Amino acid sequence: FTQPPSLYFRLWALMNLLFIGDVYASTGRNLVASHLAELQATYAVQLTIVNVENAAGGFGVTPQIAEDFLSMGVDVLTTGNHVWDKREFHEYLERNSRALRPANYPADLPGQGLTILEARNGVACAVMNLQGRAHMVPIDCPFRKADELLGQIPAEVKVRFVDFHAELTSEKVAM
């Protein structure tokens, strides 16, 4: 650099993000509850994302479980195909922008697949949730939906995270 980097660049360059994937039932919830605060402090985590799609007995998530995670310090909840397993969660998706469902499900279903929020260090972050199609129910193309969502994120939002819920490693690598 010929000039000192801006404060924004320094904050963005120091971004520590914690992603915990597929918390499974009470055992997984208890592990997160027992260790999350320590992990966040040890690694100076500015944004925590947890996939909760199997948090309720291995199938789906309930509003109470979602609220428990948020009260622990989780910033965004992502899901996958089991998001629809607990009917009471459907309404929760409509009223909480920090709970995501795969964006490539039909638009008339409850919830959204993209949220933009501010991390603990003041940096704007986008989190999107998509689902693969191999060995899953037929839904919209996740690659086209990713392009569409990326076009909706303001240019100044430099931190962009994708939780891509898929069965095949090859599909994940392609994303």
Sign of CA dihedral 45, 68, 130, 174: positive
Sign of CA dihedral 153, 157, 158, 159: negative
Among candidate residues 82, 90, 135, 165, the one labeled active-site is 82
Is residue 145 within 8 A of residue 165, CB to CB? The reply is no
Tokens of 133: 């199609």
- At residue 83, the 3 state secondary structure works out as helix
How far is CA 18 from each of CA 45, 46, 74, 126, 163, rounded to the nearest angstrom? Answer: 6, 8, 9, 14, 12
Angle, helices 63-72/25-42, rounded to nearest 10 degrees: 20
Q: Among this protein's residues, is 82 annotated catalytic?
A: yes
Tokens of 175: 């994303």
Catalytic residues: 82
